[in-house]
Structure 1
């Protein structure tokens, strides 16, 4: 029986329809014959031409109604209750046709036969369909691993339905904290209170817990994550309703938890007026458009309705990827925005200037930078050339071309830096501060923020990869802490700060409490359904993933800072601050830059470090 059903499942769609229609014809004819036999009390009776005409017409009408109701387009293994309703409707129509045809053809059909026929036809037509679905469900579900669904709301119901008919997971239980929903049956699944998790896990042995709760406040979601992270199961989520509606994702796309879930705090809400101020109906240039921050800047910018956006990037592949994405967004949302992809280096002033002049750029967001601390530490000249002189070239091109606003994406590593990368970014800030004092046609602002979760080089993708490989998870130091932001939050901050119009100012975000990297690693281990392996006095615990400490990397600090001075002032945005910090005049800066250029040309590393130490960068390299 199973073999026959399997061959039916994997037959071509056209052949399935032929088989189904053929069966239905015989089922209707048999039901008509059997109805008469039951009424007459014998199987041995003769039929005249009128009776045959009535049977043929009834059969034809029944098959036609089935076709009109889409029964031959439905996939048997996925048939649900509405399809049974269609069968009943078609059979009732058929019984009415039988009664009418017997009257017009003067055929011998007792009055009770149409009713008996209807009951028989419902069984003969409906039972095989229900049987096929039942066999498919109970046979094939054994090949799918069990999962729990958390959330009995609309998203949870839709997810359960999709998983039941999908090929990857078999939902066995729906969990929820709402006591009014406990005990409900959703697509055959019982809703249980989350407090029953331990008992249910031992019973069903699920491989994952799928979070299907997207319509709650961030604070409530974080509290929920804090609860489930202690459960010995991998936790994943489904896309938000907004992403599904926008066509960005499908409901069945099971994902790792959002970065914001790992952050442990709600993201900062943007000020919509500030975000739109320097973008809407303006021409925008984004340098480093293919990077983690630059690409998110482009995503946020295009949603604010610019006339034109230039994606400026040195890496051809990254430029191709972001250009495709932004162009797709413009097309999907029917935006009136021109997207220009431009290859080039920020160190090529003429290239940048020609782009600005040709496209009449009004706002520049400078995200291009070398930012990986160990790599820049080993490639000092390239780091200085790109981060300092690249910024200088773009800034001078902006001034000479009459750009209104220029915003630099800086870093918390520019505060009392212990590495070349941080010192180069602080030097870039000093360059822009000096240029701001030199002229007033272009407004220069700098935005300084902490680490970005999920960016290239971030600890989150690194930890996730290490956990999936079975460990160990590498943390540089047990006490190391960092400020963290999510990428959209960082991009929105940059845009808002740049719109405040305070020439030469450095802005920082009130990022709340810093995150201990060790705690972040432990949180990720728990949420990915494994446990930490702890070694004490030479004895290992029964955990899965070990955390090892590798030591601080060259130029790395235990604690990152956001402000150099103590003179902190608020701004129009409650989460953005600014502070008065040491700066140089353009004449002083010009002398330093000329000497630094010579040192870079000669690849004189000691000379470069000496200049960074003597300038007011706060550079304090570790010996």
Structure 2
């Protein structure tokens, strides 16, 4: 009944609602005056005195006019704020002053204490009715909203509470905060609880979602919070970081799933500015593979180091267009005056690469162009080698001819004792750069080796989330498989700093922290979505009992060429550098003449599509390559195709 009346009231036009408020406030003011007179005189004889009615007759219209001017009737009762409460207090005080002035100036029979009693009574009734209506509206709407807990009762948590109260989706039932001094207090009518009470709050209020509002906390602190919550049967979402909120890129009420960085909990080390600027500031910089995950982040960070010019080299037209537009918008928004040159091209095209280096006077190259997806390269061996190995050779030779000052190869941990063609091709690319460093001194060559980056194309994290959205299963290759992880911004920053320390032929290895078990990572992502994971071994007997969980984690078996564990060093030797998360490794090299002979044999095998010979040649080189027994190349049929010669790179 009450809900129906409220619904009809809400459906009225704004003018009708204001008219109702004016009538109600008039009645309240009259009642407050009469009550004040009754309390003061302890009788009702005053009702027959015309002067009494003249006093209220003059006071009410003037008071309503003041209320209108103060914006009483612009405030929406459902969302009434402290600003509106202040307006009510000022308006009622003005009304009491008017009553006093009228009664004194006209010598009306109104005792001097009545305006004060009248003011207090009117304040309680006018403010109280609005608070009651506000609560009724919110209770009516709140019954349909999702109950949530906000973790974090600081400024961001309070802003989030205010935003959610005005929205139709969530109803905040409690705050949770680690600060002891806040626990037990009320913020906006919502109690702040200790973290130890979360499980009880979830059960008592039927909570399905907890919202993290700790944008200024470090990743390590967020990790502690996430670990505390992930075993509870709730979905955990978070607000954007404080930098995005302050810059205006995001709003406090833009809820997101917990970032994978919160699961890893590793805080980045501040960059050494001298190393960041060493190969960039005032120089012409080229990034190959600029549209990729690492390449694009390198471009973003390079742009902010004030290069003389930034040359984007990319084979994909769409990726190049997207990045070019993004960088130009960033430059305009941040007042960065750096010319940006978008070039479509393949690193296997020596003529175009040389022309570009000469035309723009490139001084630094970050070579990030590569085919990097292990299963795809395993199925397309020749193209993987031509792009990753011979493409690197083309860029390296062109850099030497153009007297480029610095060449930094973006490598991978899969280059260490590889069991797949992708990793082997990156180790060969390292050998190419090491030999290039040995045969001359004008160009400083270096290589930077690191593991998986979070959020890159093909990363397991986005795939897991999509699988969860579809209801599962979440697929992992093996229960024991582990990988190193690093965020893309941190990886790009460390690549730039490593290049700034190079002296020639250096192999730098980034500190990736502790390896992560992929199955455990999948479990955690499922739990943070408010679901329970359960594990199924593919090919096992069908379960007779219902699964004890919501989302299956299935194990599909290692793919061709895939390793259980990745490594960062081939040998045991490594040394510290100026940066705590960058090491330098001492790896085997191949003399330039020996490398040229190897590349000639590899090219010949590529031209005849002799996959077996390619695998044998790579294994004989100092790559540590231990191929999988299976050849899964999609065009390999066990024969050497001498009748199918392939063009050399760039022809």
- Tell me the TM-score normalized by structure 2: 0.85
Query: 2:385 matched to which residue of 1?
Result: 384
Matched, 1:614 2:620: yes
Q: Per the alignment, do residues 92 and 581 of structure 1 end up closer, same or farther by CA in structure 2, a change over 3 Å counting?
A: same
Which moves more between the two structures, 515-524 or 491-500? Answer: 515-524
**1:429: which partner in 2?**
430
The superposition leaves residues 346-380 of structure 1 with CA deviations (integer Å, 9 ceiling, x where unpaired) of 22334334443444332221112111111111112
CA, structure 1 residues 58+415, in 2 after alignment: closer, same or farther (shift >3 Å)?
A: closer
**Structure 2: distance between partners of 1:527 and 1:47:** 67
Match of 1:458 in 2: 459
**Is 1:63 paired with 2:63?**
no
Contact 1:24-1:63 within 8 A present in 2 as well = no
| Residue ranges of structure 2 left out of the alignment (5+ in a row) | 38-44, 630-651
1:206 is displaced (CA, Å) by 0.6
Change (3 A) 1:534 1:587: closer
State the partner residue of 1:510. Answer: 511
What is the CA deviation profile of residues 117-156 of structure 1, one whole-angstrom value per residue up to 9, with x for unaligned ones?
5456546644553344222211111222111222223332
Residue 591, structure 1, aligned to residue 600, structure 2: no
| Residues 208, 233 of structure 2: 8 Å contact kept | no
Query: Structure 1, residues 394-424: CA drift from partner, whole Å, max 9, x if none?
Result: 2233333332212111111111211111111
1:312 aligns with 2:295: no
Q: Does structure 2 conserve the Cα–Cα contact (< 8 Å) formed by 1:533 and 1:544? A: yes
Distance 1:90 1:543, change over 3 A: same
Aligned pairs for 1:206-225 within 5 A: 206-225=207-226
Secondary structure, aligned partner of 2:143: helix
User: Which shifted more, 216-225 or 396-405?
Assistant: 216-225
Residue 143 (structure 1) aligns with: 144
For residues 76 and 355 of structure 1, what CA distance do their matches in structure 2 show? Answer: 65
Q: 1:315-357 CA distances to partner (integer Å, 9 max, x unpaired)?
A: 2332333334333333333333333433332223343344434
**Shift of residue 454, structure 1, vs aligned partner:** 2.2
SS of 2:565's partner is coil
Q: Which residue among 577, 581, 590 is the counterpart of 2:583?
A: 577
SS in 2 for 1:548: strand
**Contact 2:148–2:210 at 8 Å: present in 1 too?**
yes
Tell whether the 8 Å contact from 1:472 to 1:546 is kept in structure 2 after alignment.
yes
SS for the counterpart of 1:134 is: helix
Deviations 1:583-622 (A, max 9, x none): 2233333333344334334433334334323332222211
Q: Is the 8 A contact 2:28 2:126 kept in 1?
A: no
1:520-599 correspondence to structure 2 within 5 Å? 520-534=521-535, 538=543, 540=545, 541-599=547-605
Tell me, in whole angstroms, the C-alpha distance in 2 between the residues paired with 1:192 and 1:32: 41
Matches of residues 153-232 of structure 1 in structure 2 within 5 Å? Answer: 153-232=154-233
Give 1:42's match in structure 2, choosing from 28, 44, 47: 47
Residue in 1 that maps onto 2:346: 345
Residue matched to 1:270 = 271
2:47 match: secondary structure:
coil
Q: Give the Å deviation of 1:469.
A: 2.9
Using a 3 Å threshold, how does the CA distance of structure 1 residues 4 and 306 change in structure 2: closer, same or farther?
farther
| Contact 1:51/1:102, CA 8 A, preserved across alignment | no
Q: Which residue of 1 aligns with 2:369?
A: 368
Summarize deviations over 1:526-554 as a string: whole Å, max 9, x none.
33322232569956552223322211101
The size of the alignment, in residue pairs, is 614
Question: Over aligned residues, Cα RMSD in angstroms?
Answer: 3.1
What are the Cα deviations for residues 429-451 of structure 1, in whole angstroms up to 9, with x where unaligned?
11111111222222111111111
Structure 1: segments with no counterpart, 5+ residues:
none
CA distance in 1, matches of 2:573, 2:121: 88
Per-residue deviation, 1:515: 2.0
1:134–1:597 distance in 2 versus 1, CA, 3 Å? same
Superimposed CA distance per residue, residues 36-76 of structure 1 (whole angstroms, 9 cap, x where no aligned partner) = 66647438959999997776555434422x13xxx454333
CA distance in 2: counterparts of 1:57 and 1:608, whole angstroms: 95
Residue correspondence of structure 1 range 112-127 to structure 2 within 5 A: 112=112, 114-115=115-116, 118-119=119-120, 121-122=122-123, 125-127=126-128
Deviation track 1:268-298 (CA, whole Å, cap 9, x = no partner) reads 5533332222223333222222222122222
Change (3 A) 1:248 1:10: farther
Aligned to 2:639: none
Distance 1:55 1:238, change over 3 A: closer
Which whole-Å CA distance do the structure 2 matches of 1:342 and 1:409 have between them?
20
TM-score, normalisation: structure 1: 0.89
- Paired with 2:337 and 2:47, the residues of 1 have a C-alpha distance of 78
Tell me: CA distance 1:77–1:307, structure 2 relative to 1, closer, same or farther (3 Å).
farther
Measured after TM superposition, the shift of residue 484 of structure 1 is 1.9
How far did residue 486 of structure 1 move? 1.8
Residue 246 of structure 2 corresponds to residue 245 of structure 1: yes
Whether contact under 8 Å (1:373, 1:421) holds in the other structure is: yes
